Structure 1
Amino acid sequence: MEHLELFFKSIFIDNMVFATFLGMCSYLAVSKKVTTAVGLGAAVIFVLAVTVPLNWLLDQYLLRDGALVWLGSEYADYDLGFLSFILFIATIATMVQLVEIVVEKFSPSLYNSLGIFLPLIAVNCAILGGSLFMQSREIGTLALAFNYGVSSGIGWFLAILAIAAIREKIRYSNVPAPLRGLGITFIITGLMGIGFQSFGGMLTGDNEAPEGVENTTVEQIEEKEIKEEIEEQEEAAVSYNQVVNK
């Protein structure tokens, strides 16, 4: 259940584009055609799926406070957390270089279409953000880290794919001149973000009662609130009468 909740939450609620606005540069620049958007989105999924688990291993066994205890008790007090950014970016750059070589080898047309934005995945804030969010949210297992990397990549992929499909249709629409280009794109992105955030009520599980607590109906909750309000009014009236009598 934890894996499933993390998967859907990372795609819809904590979407890299619509919730944290990460990776907006390539999101806006490479979303003019669906074909290029699919290629870049697939590359982002692959890079996140590989780098987030790798960086989780680095964080668990090298970077965090006491992570070097496996080398011996004398290393238990070492904290290499200040190296997080350097090592995370090094891992990301390595994977991006591998993706660039593979794409250039097997799909030269896609490589030419993506242009400079393919190697720029290495400095894409969405990729680094995936590893940093993994670290800050203290994801507990390697499987959850892999799940988070894949689902975050899918969320970014869906975002750029959706906006690319819409922008292809907008070319044939009568958009007001001041809004053409990035103007209408930003408006659509905001509306899409609202749509994605609407999944929050279904996936957070806030309506479920805690363990050991019986489920209560809306009528019971309202009745309890009314009783509490009446009791507060009675206590206020008693206090007022006591003050008046004095």
Structure 2
Amino acid sequence: MDSIKPYVICHMLGSVDGRIKQDIWGFTDHHKYFEETAEKIPADAWLVGRVTMQEFSSKQQHSIAATANISYEDFVAEKVSETFAVVIDPSGKCTWDSNMVSTEQVIEVLTEKVSTGYLEHLRNKNVSYIFGGKEELDLQLVLQKLKGLFGIETLRIDGGGHVNGSFLKAGLIDEFSLVLAPVADGTIGSPTVFEAEEGYGDRKATQFKIKSVERIYDDFLWIRYQVIKDNVGR
């Protein structure tokens, strides 16, 4: 295991053509395929993007002060949970009624573009936050802080495609857990499991080796892949 960052597992539900779940798939209980398998992956924290986390954050309106006398330094709230829910929220869009999502304590990942008023809101709700950069996120730094400040040894990334793609492009994923749904989506332009960048550029595709395969829910496959970090000799 990398000594300076958590072990990172990306977990997704995808179609045979690599798409992310849409209503046209026709599954009435699609959440269980993702969630019941995710629960079988031991992790100290799960991580999602801002759009996904807004399903869990406050539905109320919170007034954000225009300014506050707060410096741009990481804030670690008192630990009240053994596990964490981490949100990639560079511009500070999520607001909170408390510092918990279910049984997990929230950690916001921000850039210094956020207002000091937003930082005051997080502190008032006792929500931990870390800075991953001034304008753009340095995901390696983010992972180092998650391990160093919160003791997170294993991190599960639960998407969506752009968050997955960002970690993939940065070479920070160690394992990919795919629940393969027996469906072909076929929609041109619909979101895929990994959305890294337009075109090919200088980036090489990420290669995997199979760790395990299990047939579940009759016709689904749960495939766990290890990322090949060094392709020399293959």
Superposition TM-score tier, normalisation by shorter sequence = under 0.3
More helix by share: 1
Larger relative contact order (C-alpha < 8 A, sep ≥ 6)?
Answer: 1
More strand by share: 2
**TM-score, length of structure 2 as denominator length:** 0.23
**TM-score, length of structure 1 as denominator length:** 0.23
